[in-house]
A and B are shown apart, each in its own frame.
Chain A
Amino acid sequence: MHKVRLLISILAGCSLLPAADWPTDAANSQRTNWQQDEKILTKDNVKNMKVLWKIKLDNVPQEMHSLFPPLIIEKVKTSGGVKQIAIEAGISDNIYAIDVETGQLLWKKHFEYPTPERRGRPGDPLCPPGQTATPVIGPANASGDRTIYALAGDGKLHSLNVGNGEDVAPPFQFGYPNGKAYSLNLWNNIVFTTTSQGCAGNPNQIWAVNLNDPAKKVMTYNPKSGGLWGRAGAAVDSTGIAWAPTGDGRYDPVNKVYGNGLIGARVEGGDLNLKDYFMPSNWMWLQKRDLDMQVTPSIFTYKGRELMITGSKECRMYLLDTKSAGGENHQTPLVRTPLICNEETDFQSAGIWGSMASWEDSKGTRFALTPFWGPVHPEFKAPVSYGPVTHGAVVAFKVEEKNGKFQLNPAWMSRDMDQAEPPVIANGIVFAYGNGENTRQAYADRGLADFSPLRIKASGHAVLYALDGQTGKELFSSGDQLKTFTHFSGLSVANGRVYIATFDSILYCFGLPGH
């Protein structure tokens, strides 16, 4: 009798443990890519990871896009009981809910709408039609239910119940059809996204809507640039400023043109207003060589100051203060690292792409991580590295302060990865992957010929790695278990499971068997 009570108490206690969710792309509104609640995977056992399950979804890839990083929610009430669910979004306007214990599909939602009048040029990897933004999941309401906010390819924002996929509110127009929105972010009931590349003739801007606003007024700020294509959309700081890189373009503040920079905009009185911006002093060079500022920043606190890191295809990292991103002249970062890669100054297959990552170890050491594509710069040296890097890698810096000055000091560089993508961190382990994608856009005999079928045919397969967060040492590799590449997707980690989706619309779940 006592034993039964004890067991019930233990089980009840377990259910009260904080849920390790992954409710948004890059883990949180600050886009740190850091899973702070991981307890199951450790540096010692991660080498034992296996594919726990994989599921082939009926999502049809569009151009090179397929599935986005899944969102993970624990303790979801479903008709079959309380479950931990992965919400997987697909480019062809699909939302899938998967029971992560079994890998079985729980429900699917497909957004139906008339084919929009315009779409990107067929064959152009930049402008696929459909749902391009990773959805976001809001906090639990009074009933404990949670809502998925998903932006369909027709520009309508849907609100779905995580437990059953049913609409919890009528969809409303948030963006333009086929406008290529990036990952949604949710902060204080305001949904943010960004758009880029002028897909289907649509503007490139930051978008926001206050879910509390009955009119659902759509607020935008347009920096008049080539596109705000940070993979994880905007990162939001503690004051509600949404920071987004502006992609290619000119800097002409007199005319409110902020290309090749990082802008911060905040919702104020029903409008989205520019609050601050950072512009690299060599923006003209970045524009000339198409080395866009296009990396979603990571925002974190260090020694009481809110800082953020970002980068560009040029392949250097910037450390910025969210209170004054570039100082008085908007061009003075706290730290500007030397070039990490891209000695060739190539616009393709080189440089930093995607988003950043940051975490803090138990000793209070703050790490700032960046992935990069292509060969490491010959003059960049990390104290610890693992062989020649020719295709890409992850580099970890320590954020430090000496004599009142901030520093980004290289800590380690990972092994070579085939186009390293944004890493995520959980329990001191850095999970990273080489996307295996053919990223070539220009050819010696053809010039610029960025064509999806060509690139898909020439692509390989992704490889998932686990690295020691302190040293970068490889702890795990998926080898050739993943059969196809990934394009503009990402990793998710929660409760002992690591998720990665590939172009063939397969979602893989890695973890510890029998755990």
Chain B
Amino acid sequence: MNKTSALAVISLACTAMANGQVAMDWPTLGGDAQRTGWAKVDDRITKENVKDFQLVLKRKFDMKEKGPRSLAPPVVMGRLISYKGFKELAFVAGGADDLWSIDVDLNRIFWHKHYDTAASSSAPCPASITAVPTLNIPFSFTATRPRVAVTGIQAAANTASPRPAFAVSSDGKLHFVNTSTGEDAIPPVNFLPPGAKASSLTLIDGVMYTTTAGGCGGTKNAVWAMDLNTPQGTVTNYAVNSGGLALGTDGTVYVQSDAGAVLALNAKDLALKHSFTGAGAAGSLASPVVFAYKGKDLIVAAGADGRLNLLDSQSLGGADSKTPLYQTPSLNSPGHSVRGALASWLDTDGTRWVLASVWGSPSGSVVAFKVEEPEGKPVLKQAWVSREMSSPLPPVIASGVVFILSAGDYTKDDRPKGGTHATLYALDGATGKEMYSTGKQVTAPGSLTGVTVANGRVYFATTDNTLWAFGVFLEI
């Protein structure tokens, strides 16, 4: 009888899991450490209901700074059992060192934290939280690395706050944020030099990663790692001018340098493992994307010449460091180039997709590739090109639907043209067919900071410091 009962309980729990009742996190920019942009579970969104998307959240933040990078897309904690109840929270960074926590179901500010720093501000080097915050990315059972015990300051932070968030203020301090209150769970620690302009944070296996750019605050452009499993937080860096980073399932750090190389760095100590230098032209700062494929990681990076390079994690460029597994024809054309990050997702039929955003004048698009093996070796085969759209941000994917924010018409130096506005599109991931568009509902240009998808909602910011979410209506 007891066995039957236990089976019934387990069965009930499994049924709940199978129906997506577990709220999912979007813990970092791009959704995961591999920067795939793919929400692997989102049972609220389907190909059938995406046409019925509605404006489900709109909140303007009161801050002086405005522009295409003044407000970041949120990281989302799908469920926090807080002292005020169960919450789905979006953590939004922006303004002058401001961090907000939004109860997204009710569109209420749960808390707001302003960090008083003395950093000076300029247009290219704002005194702000430039890095999208992060949550602790949970260990994956599919990871090809051992589980790391939580010790050091990370353990101390976890003791003081069961599910902390992490943010770097403009003075370079890493804050361990109690997500219930917004207060520092433990005193912040020095991570970066003051005034550094950091890209999005990634915390995995107790190591915090970011990159710095622009030489802001006199800080060298580098990849940075801080081992939070040590008592003080040991910081290391590797000098390179790059865009954002992506991590392999074994913890390897991948970045694309502005010199045209893709680098593989050791987890934690950031020692150079190997590199790919066959991308040709220098200048691309697009973030690579990593995905597991047949027992190993594959990396896709966009060169400045507009070609996508498919790389083997075990030997990025082969024996000569210059030979990719596959190289696509260039997606660049006069006035067009690949921008931002790439994206990747796995269809239910096992098809692996890679998506690239192409900017251009008058319009850009998103190009989708399938990973195929026509001759026993993986290649990227172009599958579809989206409708025309202006300044498309890196796509995010949920339930086989590709969401793309067309940020609006931007100049070459990333200034929005007058009267332009953002439009969110939903495309069928298998065909690129348009399934939904926000039309003219969004009245301002889109921020160039990214898109988030979690639990039935797609979030983005506009240059007037408004956070928007379109999604599936939830009756409350």
Contact = CB atoms under 8 A, between A and B. Distances in A.
A288 B88 contact: yes
A21 interface: no
Interface stretch (A182-190, A415-423, A441-449): A441-449
Interface string B56-89: 0000000000000000000000001111111010
Interface string A305-339: 00000000000000000000000000000000000
Nearest to B162: A447
A91 B30 CA distance: 52
A290 B85 contact: yes
A284 B475 contact: yes
A167 interface: no
B85 A345 contact: yes
B423 interface: no
A285 B475 contact: yes
Given A289-B85, A289-B86, A203 B476 contact: no
A201 B85 CA distance: 26
Interface string B15-27: 1100101010000
Contact of A344 (B84, B88, B160): B84
B466 interface: no
Contacts of A203: 5, 8-9
Contacts of B5: 176, 201-203
A456 to B, nearest CB: 19
Nearest to A257: B15
Interface in A234-283: 249-250, 252, 255, 257, 281-282
A198 B9 contact: yes
Contact of A444 (B86, B180, B474): B180
Nearest to A283: B475
Interface string A346-374: 11101000000000000000000000000
B281 interface: no
A227 to B, nearest CB: 11
A285 B181 CA distance: 23
A447 B81 contact: yes
Contact of B81 (A201, A287, A448): A448
A255 to B, nearest CB: 8
A442 B2 contact: no
B187 to A, nearest CB: 15
Interface string A416-451: 000000000000000000000000101111111000
A344 B82 CA distance: 11
A281 B475 contact: yes
A304 to B, nearest CB: 33
B160 A348 contact: no
A250 B475 contact: no
A365 to B, nearest CB: 33
Contacts of B23: 288
Interface string A190-203: 00000000100111
A207 to B, nearest CB: 13
Nearest to A314: B476
A81 B85 CA distance: 54
Contact of A445 (B84, B105, B178): B178
Interface in B287-341: none
Contacts of A446: 162
B122 to A, nearest CB: 37
Contact of A345 (B21, B106, B160): B106
A346 B2 contact: no
A345 B80 CA distance: 13
A448 B80 CA distance: 9
Contacts of A345: 85-86, 105-106
Give the dominant DSSP class at A's interface.
loop
Interface residues of B, number: 33
B83 A444 contact: yes
A333 to B, nearest CB: 14
Contact of B105 (A285, A287, A440): A285
Contacts of B185: 445
A422 B85 CA distance: 23
A344 B12 CA distance: 29
Nearest to B82: A442
A347 B475 CA distance: 18
A69 to B, nearest CB: 29
B16 A347 contact: no
B123 interface: no
Contact of B86 (A250, A282, A347, A443): A347
Contact of B85 (A285, A346, A443): A346
Contact of A118 (B2, B84, B88, B475): B2
B421 interface: no
B391 interface: no
Contacts of B83: 440, 442-444
Given A250-B16, A288-B86, A282 B476 contact: yes
B1 interface: yes
Nearest to B183: A444
A448 B162 CA distance: 9
A250 B2 contact: no
Nearest to A280: B475
Contacts of B180: 444-445, 447
B118 interface: no
Nearest to A347: B85
B6 interface: yes
B465 interface: no
Contacts of B106: 345
A290 B88 CA distance: 12
B161 interface: yes
B85 A348 contact: yes
Contacts of A118: 2
Contacts of B86: 288-290, 345, 347
A110 to B, nearest CB: 25
A217 B308 CA distance: 69
A117 interface: yes
Contacts of A288: 23, 86, 88, 105, 474
A442 B81 contact: yes
B175 interface: no
Contact of B21 (A117, A287, A447): A287
A202 B1 CA distance: 9
B86 to A, nearest CB: 5
Contacts of A282: 475-476
A10 B146 CA distance: 87
A201 B1 CA distance: 11
B163 interface: yes
Nearest to A287: B21
Given A281-B475, A285-B475, A445 B161 contact: yes
A117 B6 CA distance: 13
Contacts of B162: 445-448
A118 B5 CA distance: 12
A285 B103 CA distance: 13
Contacts of A257: 15
Contacts of B12: 198, 224
Contacts of A281: 475
B161 to A, nearest CB: 6
B104 to A, nearest CB: 11
A344 B110 CA distance: 10
Interface in B2-55: 2, 5-6, 8-9, 12, 15-16, 19, 21, 23
Contacts of A440: 83
10 contacts: A198-B9, A201-B9, A224-B12, A249-B16, A287-B21, A289-B85, A290-B85, A348-B85, A445-B180, A446-B162
| Smallest CB-CB A-B distances: 9 pairs | A447-B162, A346-B85, A282-B475, A444-B180, A448-B81, A444-B83, A285-B476, A201-B6, A289-B86
Given A117-B2, A282-B475, A282-B476, 15 more contacts: A118-B2, A176-B2, A202-B5, A203-B8, A252-B19, A288-B474, A289-B86, A344-B85, A347-B85, A444-B161, A445-B162, A445-B180, A445-B185, A447-B163, A448-B162
Interface of B: 1-2, 5-6, 8-9, 12, 15-16, 19, 21, 23, 80-86, 88, 105-106, 160-163, 178, 180-181, 185, 474-476
